[in-house]
Structure 1
Amino acid sequence: MPSARRSSSSAGERIAAIRSARRMTQGDLARAANISLSMIRKLEQGSRNPGDNVLDAIAAALGVDPSRLLHGTGRTDSRVHGTIPLLRQVITTCDFPDEGPVRPLPELQVAVREAVRCRLESQYVRLSYALPDLIAELTRGLRTASGLAPLLVTSYRAADAVAYKYGYLDLSARLIDLMRQTTVLVEDPLLAASVAYVRTEVFFATHTYEAGLRALEVEIDRLRTCKDTSLQYMGVLGSLHMRAAVVAARAGQVEDALSHRDEAWRLGGMVPESIYYGTAFGPDSVRIHEVSLAVSLGDSHLRPALDLGDTWAPPSSMPAERRSGFFIELARARLWAGMRDAAFDALRSARRIAPQHTREHPWVREDGETLLRLHRASSDELCGFAEWLGLS
């Protein structure tokens, strides 16, 4: 395990690197973070180890998640897990919210947009710190302003991302139920469809893929009855087909999987790559799901995924979670094809893009263990990656 001095130096090096990339001097960072210049210097020199409050202040000043500064240490896990009891308390008492202030609607909209951004960028530390208070405030406000319901649904979805990624499946299921209940307060079929998309996590977690496919197809049929030709409509409908393709593949229903894939491609060609009701959709998202589909189908379907990985990478404009997911799926395809070094390269790419998403992904841990087992003389870099995952 790395020493405290080494961890401190590593964090200091990252602070210095990101500060330089932002074209900030040490003095600029000190003023933005409200920290003394001498503290910044000591951190970057590695002679001081940042505490949580200092780390949060520096991360906020640099505009990054604290995990970017902790890359390679074990602290990120504890920081996220430590917020789960607070989130549980808020969820448990949602029927009887506490008293307190509620900000004006425009301020709440800004806060929820920031939560969505953190979710899409896999910034789970910042997200988990902000959500308990935000959800409590929205729950209070909902008693007198039903117009807050869509914001509350969106915040529940952000909380579900944390719960699901960090293995709190019971909390995830409860949050999805709350999303569904709150959606009833809003006459918005697209919001309901977006919740159906998220609900698929329950079927993934329990491996009940056939039921998950039926649920998605019911939602697709319901949405088709809407007389809507907007980009938002096509984006939401396309995302349902995109997910249905993967679920059908997991269920072993190849024809259904390919049919939903084709419909996703058709709709993807009609809209620009963007975020539709909280989900990324468009040509690039469908292309990424081709890899997920290939991995789910396996065997003869892997070749297109391998070829895509050799010739294409998701653009940086896409959400970090979606981009890292591409490389996680590609790593599995390459591993199954016997391409060990290329598989590890893909895992490293995923880590660079979204370290928290990568570290908590069960496939990354499985594939990391497999690579360690297959490489009799493991490289220092592979061993370091395994240590980062907590495998050694």
Structure 2
Amino acid sequence: MGTTTDPAPGARVALLRKARGLSQTALARKAHVSLSLLSKVEVGDRPLTPAAATALGGALGLSMAEVQGRASVAADDELLLSELRSAMRDFDMPVHEDVSEGRVAAGLEMADRHRDQVDVAALMTMLPALLRDATAHAHAENSPTSWSALADVYSTVYWLAARHRWMDLAELAVTRQRWAVEQQPNPVGVAFAARDRAGTYLNFGDVDHGLDVVDRAIAAVQSAPVSTVDRDLAMGVLNLRGMTLAGRLPDKREAAREAERHIKSAWRAAASFSSDIEAHGLTFGSQNTFTHVLATRVDLGRPRAALTLTDDLDAALAGLPPTRVAPTRINYARAQLDVGDRDGALENLVAAFDVAPQMARIHPMGREVLRVLSSLHRRSNPALLRLSKLSGVPL
């Protein structure tokens, strides 16, 4: 599957600003960011952070995802997206064919495998048919298990759309996901749907409303008649989303306070599991909590605190799927860049591309770290040249 996302987010800011006839001074003033920061972001001396993208987007009348830029698929893959959209439109019109639970379960298992390995091409190819199968089975069976399976397929569609910043598709996916779990409600399924819904607010840069979704879902889980294991799982994934949202609050004092609240709750939930587990297409446990804490520390502007969370990143990530390893490597590289460790940042960025190239090439921060590294090195570098070819980010 071919995707292009040129230019990188920071370079895109300059294009958006100029298209609106704004000077750097005018945009900086309107967005309440420093002129120095905006200038450095545009030329590639500083990465465009999610917080800066949100602030600049607000001034430009755009969402954070729109500022970062959606990934466009190659012409040959547009048909697959069209088929997926068609399957989503037919959510209440199942195909007239018997689809067994085993067939849906096998399809979900394969989709989870592709998602974990960040094989976007394979996932895109199979999702339209899997969605139609799961839809037909849920309508025919009308059981909590069948509707939960359909919700999981929609969650995977959301994951795919959010990674590429196709926010119209992402919003539709979470709406359908919530609809599916409400046909035969179960507290865990509802919690996972809330997590994904909060994710759309995260991508739009609307942190406050995302936190409201998370907190309401947490309150519902706490009072729901579920097992301790299910409650800890639901609480865990919700608090992971909560800490990510909180870390991006504009008031850094409030951000730190709210993030710590979710971090403590996530650690408590993770302590119930001896190792990370897979559920509903997601991973939860101590290792994945660590990756989210690290990312949140970076978003809070505390790169040194992020870097001191472990003195052996390889060991900390051992056994986690590429879908978690790659973004953590990118976040670690961002922290290293912030403290002036260019060589370490490049090493971890290379590792991210090696473990999950299809994710790294469209990851907004991955592209920003690469752009800044290429600007700072000021000379030819074989690793940077290779990543430039893989990502489409010009040096």
Higher-RCO chain (CA-CA 8 Å, sequence separation at least 6): 2
Quick one: which amino acid aligns to residue 194 of structure 2?
A
CA distance in structure 1 between the partners assigned to 2:112 and 2:303 by the alignment:
33
| Counterpart pick for 2:116 among 111, 117, 120 | 120
The 8 Å contact of residues 162 and 203 in structure 2, kept in 1 or not, is answered as no
The 8 Å contact of residues 216 and 240 in structure 1, kept in 2 or not, is answered as yes
Secondary structure in structure 1 of the residue aligned to 2:247 = helix
How many residues are treated as equivalent by the alignment?
315
| Cα distance, 1:78 vs structure 2 | 6.0
CA distance in structure 2 between the partners assigned to 1:235 and 1:359 by the alignment:
31
| Counterpart pick for 2:101 among 101, 105, 110 | 105
| Counterpart pick for 1:178 among 176, 179, 189 | 176
CA distance in structure 2 between the partners assigned to 1:350 and 1:81 by the alignment:
27
| Cα distance, 1:144 vs structure 2 | 2.2
CA distance in structure 2 between the partners assigned to 1:341 and 1:124 by the alignment:
29
The 8 Å contact of residues 367 and 391 in structure 2, kept in 1 or not, is answered as yes
Task: Tell me what 1:194 maps to.
Answer: 192
- Asked whether 1:225 is paired with 2:226, we answer no
Task: Tell me what 1:84 maps to.
Answer: 81
The 8 Å contact of residues 193 and 223 in structure 1, kept in 2 or not, is answered as yes
Task: Tell me what 1:338 maps to.
Answer: 340
Change (3 A) 1:325 1:309: farther
Point out where structure 2 has 5 or more consecutive residues left out of the alignment: 1-71
CA distance in structure 2 between the partners assigned to 1:284 and 1:225 by the alignment:
27
CA distance in structure 1 between the partners assigned to 2:153 and 2:328 by the alignment:
25
Comparing 79-88 with 268-277, greater Cα deviation is found at 79-88
User: Counterparts in 2 of 1:128-143, with a 5 A limit?
Assistant: 128-143=124-139
| Cα distance, 1:232 vs structure 2 | 3.0
| Counterpart pick for 1:242 among 231, 240, 243 | 240
Instruction: Give RMSD over aligned pairs.
Output: 2.0
TM-score between both structures, scaled by the size of structure 2: 0.75
CA distance in structure 2 between the partners assigned to 1:315 and 1:297 by the alignment:
22
Task: Tell me what 1:296 maps to.
Answer: 299
Deviations 1:156-215 (A, max 9, x none): 111222222123110111011000111101221000001111112211111110111111
Secondary structure in structure 2 of the residue aligned to 1:228 = coil
User: Counterparts in 2 of 1:268-287, with a 5 A limit?
Assistant: 268-272=270-274, 273-287=276-290
Quick one: which amino acid aligns to residue 306 of structure 1?
L
CA distance in structure 1 between the partners assigned to 2:75 and 2:346 by the alignment:
26
| Cα distance, 1:81 vs structure 2 | 4.9
Task: Tell me what 1:96 maps to.
Answer: 93
Change (3 A) 1:81 1:294: farther
Secondary structure in structure 2 of the residue aligned to 1:234 = helix
CA distance in structure 1 between the partners assigned to 2:272 and 2:95 by the alignment:
46
CA distance in structure 2 between the partners assigned to 1:303 and 1:119 by the alignment:
31
CA distance in structure 1 between the partners assigned to 2:226 and 2:176 by the alignment:
27
Point out where structure 1 has 5 or more consecutive residues left out of the alignment: 1-74
Quick one: which amino acid aligns to residue 127 of structure 1?
L
Change (3 A) 1:98 1:276: closer
Secondary structure in structure 1 of the residue aligned to 2:183 = coil
Secondary structure in structure 2 of the residue aligned to 1:280 = strand
Q: Which has the larger radius of gyration?
A: 1
User: Counterparts in 2 of 1:261-272, with a 5 A limit?
Assistant: 261-272=263-274
| Cα distance, 1:141 vs structure 2 | 2.9
Quick one: which amino acid aligns to residue 84 of structure 2?
L
| Counterpart pick for 2:352 among 350, 353, 356 | 350
The 8 Å contact of residues 155 and 177 in structure 2, kept in 1 or not, is answered as yes
CA distance in structure 2 between the partners assigned to 1:265 and 1:80 by the alignment:
41
TM-score between both structures, scaled by the size of structure 1: 0.76
